[in-house]
Amino acid sequence: MMRRSPLSLWKVNLLLCLGQLLGCGEGRVHTETQPGPLYRVVGTPLSICSTSGFKDESTEKDFEIRVKKPAKPNYEIKVISSKDPFFSYAIYLDRIRSRDIALKRLSPNSVSFELHNLQKSDEGEYECTVVNSESTYNGVYTAIISVKVIDNSLSVSSPSSPSLSFKEGEALSLTCQASSNTIQHTHLSLAWYLHKDGEDSAQPVISLDKDFTLNPGQVFERRYQAGHISLNKLGEATYRLTIAQLEVSDKGMIYCRAVEWIQDPDRSWYPIIQKDAEQITLNVKAREVEDTSALAVRITAQQTALQEGQQLLLSCNVDTQNLEERFISVAWLRESDELARIGPTGVLSVGPLYTGRETEGELRVTRIGDRDYRLVLRPVRTEDQGEYMCRAWLQERVQGGAFNPSTAQDSVPQKISISTTESGLTVTMPGDVRVTEGEALSLTCKVDGFKGQLSVTWQRKSAFTAAAPFTNIISLNKEGVAEKAEEFAGRTVRVARPAPDTFILELDKVTSSDLGVYQCAVSEWNTNSKTHSQSRTTAVTVNPIDKLMRVLLSIRKGRVTVGENVELLCRVKGPQVPITLIWSVQRDNNLDNILTLYPDGTISWSGEQHHYQLRVENRKDVVFYYLQIIGASHREAGTYQCSVSVFLENIHKKVNESNMLAVMVQNPESKLVLASTSTLTRAINTDIEMSCSVTSTTSTSCLYSVTWLLQQAAKKRTIVSSDRGAFVTFGDQVELRHRQRISLRRTKGPTFSLTLRQATLSDQGSYICEVVEWQQDPRGEWYQLSKVSRITNLTVNEPAKSLVILQEEKEVNVSASQELPIPCNILKQSSDESMFQVTWFWQKETESQQRPIFTVYRNATLQDRLGEDVHAKFDHPALSQFSLTLQKPRPEDSGLYFCEVEEWVPSPAHEWRKVAVEKSGNLTVNVITAGEDLSYSGCNPVTWVVICVVIFIVSLLIILGLLLKICKSRGKKSSQTLWAEQPLTTKARAED
In the predicted structure, residue 528 carries a pLDDT above the cut 70:
no
The predicted structure's pLDDT at residue 67: 92
pLDDT in tens, 97-134: 998 888 887 777 777 778 888 888 888 898 888 888 77
In the predicted structure, residue 712 carries a pLDDT above the cut 70:
yes
CA pair distance 124, 540, nearest whole angstrom: 51
Q: What's the whole-number mean pLDDT along residues 270-295?
A: 80
The predicted structure's pLDDT at residue 721: 94
Of residues 263 and 986, more confidence is placed in: 263
Q: Which range has the top average pLDDT, 130-139, 414-423, 441-450, 532-541? A: 441-450
C-alpha closest to that of 239 among 192, 284, 182: 192
What average pLDDT does the chain have? Answer: 83
pLDDT in tens, 302-337: 888 887 778 899 999 998 887 877 888 999 999 888
The predicted structure's pLDDT at residue 14: 37
Of residues 464 and 933, more confidence is placed in: 464
Q: What's the whole-number mean pLDDT along residues 159-184?
A: 88
The predicted structure's pLDDT at residue 112: 77
The predicted structure's pLDDT at residue 978: 31
Residue 481 has phi, psi (to 5 degrees) of: -95, 125
In the predicted structure, residue 645 carries a pLDDT above the cut 60:
yes
The predicted structure's pLDDT at residue 969: 60
In the predicted structure, residue 975 carries a pLDDT above the cut 50:
no
| The amino acid at 977 | T
Task: Provide the CB-side half-sphere exposure for 116 (13 A, CA).
Answer: 14
Beta strand pairing status for 433-436 and 110-115? Answer: unpaired
Q: What's the whole-number mean pLDDT along residues 901-909?
A: 77
286 — pLDDT class (breaks 50, 70, 90): confident
- For 151-304, where are the E strands, in sequence order? 155-157, 163-167, 172-179, 186-196, 203-208, 214-216, 229-234, 238-243, 252-263, 269-276, 280-285, 296-301
In the predicted structure, residue 292 carries a pLDDT above the cut 70:
no
Q: Are 13 and 102 in contact (CB under 8 A)?
A: no
In the predicted structure, residue 436 carries a pLDDT above the cut 60:
yes
In the predicted structure, residue 728 carries a pLDDT above the cut 70:
yes
Q: What's the whole-number mean pLDDT along residues 397-414?
A: 83
The predicted structure's pLDDT at residue 461: 86
The predicted structure's pLDDT at residue 339: 92
16 — pLDDT class (breaks 50, 70, 90): very low
The predicted structure's pLDDT at residue 729: 93
The predicted structure's pLDDT at residue 723: 92
pLDDT in tens, 43-101: 777 766 656 556 666 778 888 889 998 888 888 999 999 888 889 999 999 999 998 88
390 — pLDDT class (breaks 50, 70, 90): very high
Q: What's the whole-number mean pLDDT along residues 20-34?
A: 52
In the predicted structure, residue 935 carries a pLDDT above the cut 80:
no
Beta strand pairing status for 110-115 and 622-629? Answer: unpaired
DSSP state of 352: G
In the predicted structure, residue 810 carries a pLDDT above the cut 70:
yes
Q: What's the whole-number mean pLDDT along residues 375-401?
A: 85
Q: What's the whole-number mean pLDDT along residues 430-452?
A: 88
In the predicted structure, residue 934 carries a pLDDT above the cut 60:
no
The predicted structure's pLDDT at residue 384: 85
The predicted structure's pLDDT at residue 20: 37
The predicted structure's pLDDT at residue 354: 86
The predicted structure's pLDDT at residue 983: 36
| The amino acid at 337 | D
872 — pLDDT class (breaks 50, 70, 90): confident
The predicted structure's pLDDT at residue 801: 76
CA pair distance 417, 873, nearest whole angstrom: 145
CA pair distance 837, 834, nearest whole angstrom: 10
pLDDT in tens, 592-626: 889 999 988 899 888 677 789 999 999 888 999 99
